């Protein structure tokens, strides 16, 4: 059975909100699981047929917990998930490009197939107080996250990817 795995890390809530929006929409289209990066295991990656990775940008790169997920799971699934579709969402305080590039390089190593360019939601948090504050995202900011989750899940269910 085709299934989508959404793996996320969130320190201040933005990425969690994005992942939850994608999950809610994806559930209407097919089988989907939502896991925190800390909880996701190689077996979860092997059981899924497509992936949506969601992480915050921290210091122009992926958050440490998301990177740790990739570090922990990289070799156990290397050569076993090639060609599977993926997309990514980044919650950024500035441009998110560094985090998106880093995640794309990891996915390239796994030989995953990117099905959409990175979706980046920019919070414009630039002060220490704004960066560390709990994030709230508008429906307008979350709508593309839901659209991406639904599209990935439907595409998997229909065998598009």
**Each residue of 59-106: pLDDT tens digit?**
999 999 999 999 999 999 999 999 999 999 999 998 999 999 999 999
Q: How far is CA 145 from CA 29, 46, 52, 79, 113, in A?
A: 14, 24, 10, 29, 19
Q: Euclidean distance between the first and final Cα of the chain, in Å?
A: 14
Band the pLDDT of 1: cuts 50, 70, 90.
Answer: confident
Listed in sequence order, the DSSP H helices in 6-138 are 14-27, 42-47, 64-77, 97-109, 128-132
pTM score of the predicted model: 0.97
- SS3 state at 122: strand
Q: Would you give the distance in Å from CA 160 to the centre of its chain?
A: 20
- Looking at the DSSP assignment, which residues form a beta bridge with residue 4? 32, 50
Write the pLDDT tens digit of every residue in 80-90: 999 999 999 99
Write the pLDDT tens digit of every residue in 17-56: 999 999 999 999 999 999 999 999 999 999 999 999 999 9
């Amino acid at each position: 059975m085709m299934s989508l795995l959404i793996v996320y890390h969130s320190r201040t809530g933005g990425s969690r909100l994005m992942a939850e929006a994608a999950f809610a929409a994806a559930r209407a289209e097919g089988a989907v699981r939502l896991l925190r990066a800390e909880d996701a295991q190689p077996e979860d990656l092997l059981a899924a047929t497509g992936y949506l990775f969601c992480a915050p940008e921290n210091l122009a790169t992926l958050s440490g917990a998301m990177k740790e997920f990739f570090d922990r799971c990289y070799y156990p699934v290397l050569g076993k998930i090639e060609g599977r579709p993926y997309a990514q969402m980044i919650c950024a305080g500035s441009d998110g490009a560094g985090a998106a590039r880093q995640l794309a390089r990891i996915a390239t190593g796994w030989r995953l197939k990117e099905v959409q360019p990175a979706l980046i939601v920019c919070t414009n948090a630039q002060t220490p107080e704004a960066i560390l504050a709990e994030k709230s995202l508008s429906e307008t900011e979350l709508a593309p996250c839901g659209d991406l989750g639904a599209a990935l899940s439907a595409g998997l269910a229909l065998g598009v990817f």
